[in-house]
Amino acid sequence: MAYYVFLDTNIYEESNFSFQNGKFTKLKELIESESVILLYNEVVYREVRQHIEEYVKAAGIIG
């Protein structure tokens, strides 16, 4: 039986978009073992992408 999981933008923000942290690593393992199915939509995808771009620009990494 798989669980369906939806993560809103705030979950990504709380982890500072650190996808290598323990929680995201465990989530990845659960997805790969097909215990979890990650749900997302275009709105969250765009928000997360935009926030990452803003953080990168603020850090001076890109123009």
pLDDT tens digit string along 41-60? 999 999 999 999 998 888 88
Which alpha helices (H) appear in 1-63, and where do they start and end?
A: 9-14, 22-32, 42-58
pLDDT of residue 55: 87
pLDDT of residue 1: 92
Examine the pLDDT at 63 and tell me if it is beyond 80. no
Cβ(54)–Cβ(13) under 8 Å? no
pLDDT of residue 44: 96
Q: Which backbone phi and psi does 46 adopt, to 5 degrees? A: -65, -40
pLDDT of 2-28, one tens digit each? 999 999 999 999 998 898 999 999 999
